[in-house]
A = this chain, B = another copy of it.
Amino acid sequence: MSGGLSVHGGRLAEARSRFGGAREDWLDLSTGINPVAWSGGATADIDWRSLPDPGDLARLERQAARYFGVDPALCCAVPGSETGLRLIARILGGRGLHLPLAYSTHADAFEHADPVASLAQLPAAPGTLVIANPNNPDGVLRATEALLNLLERQESGSGWLIVDEAFADCRPEHSIAGHVASGRRLIVLRSFGKFFGLAGVRLGFVVAPTELLGQLRRRLGEWPVSAAALAFGTEAYGDAGWIAATRRTLPEQASRLDAVLKRHGLAPRGECPLFRLVETSEAGALFIRLAQRHILIRPFADHSRLLRFGLPNGDAALGRLDAALAHG
């Protein structure tokens, strides 16, 4: 029903070409990116001219590892967690396994991938199971214990478990990253751009056993991320005040989005405060009605009853969504 708009969020240019309006007219709720970006970027000192120094890369990885609660030797910066997953999938080889409702790259990263009907009945043949926690787009949050059980199941069959924690920053107590270790078949992906609201930087991290990180580094080379990624990431991951405040305010904002959605008969789902999923038989029509009012949300090509709403930035944006739903 909506072309590329139902493949990935953030495609405002395509939305504009279909529904008109200038860039600044649109309220883009099609992604799960924090609308209140980390503000240190405006004053960060970026050295665009030199090749990034290996010492600066090591410093970024130490800072990020401290934030994730992992050994820095297990933490490798990548130009976006999406690229990181694609590279890891090819290094591991073999078949990918993913949830039926999952981020599309969980399937596309592998040469061959299949959805699993149920985590209780994984196929016997070994494969790499990819699960996002919290999951995108339904926001389901799994307990560490359940994931560790899946890990044991995968290890007993010579498979791997990849936990995509791209949206985990608000719930650090649910991260499984501290369980990554040499000899275990667990890999964790982290994203910089979503929680810090700077998706254009292209920065993510792969937390994995050192043998695997060696292969990943060899594919990426000496300078895997830009000077901006080094500058922003190193400073932002150390900005404890901003991080704590954002972990408080995002759930408050999400509760207010929930109230608006419920007022209009929609039942929001999910435990990630950066987005909410709703299911409605009116999904296709609602997407178009909001787009005609220049509000972009996220439909799903393979799930025609689902819509994902990103978090609006403040009262004015939330009020605009409220009004559009009322008149829709």
Contact = CB atoms under 8 A, between A and B. Distances in A.
A68 B53 CA distance: 29
A179 interface: no
A41 B227 CA distance: 13
Contacts of A228: 48, 200, 226, 228
Nearest to A228: B228
Contacts of A83: 79, 219-221, 223-224
A50 interface: yes
Interface stretch (A11-19, A134-142, A255-263): A11-19
A86 interface: yes
A220 to B, nearest CB: 6
A115 interface: no
Number of copies: 2
A209 interface: no
Given A48-B200, A200-B226, A200-B227, A86 B53 contact: no
Given A201-B226, A226-B79, A226-B200, A53 B219 contact: no
Contacts of A51: 8-10, 31, 33, 193, 199-200
A92 interface: no
A43 to B, nearest CB: 13
A219 B87 contact: yes
A50 B219 CA distance: 27
A183 interface: no
B80 A200 contact: no
Nearest to A217: B86
Contacts of A10: 50-51, 53
A21 B212 CA distance: 37
A264 interface: no
**Which residue, of A4, A33, A79, A83, has the highest number of chain B Cβ atoms within 10 A?**
A79
Interface in A71-123: 79-80, 82-83, 86-87, 90, 105, 108-109
A206 interface: no
A252 interface: no
Interface in A188-203: 193, 197-202
Interface string A164-198: 00000000000000000000000000000100011
A8 B222 contact: yes
11 contacts: A11-B54, A13-B54, A37-B48, A48-B200, A48-B232, A51-B199, A86-B219, A86-B221, A105-B222, A201-B227, A202-B227
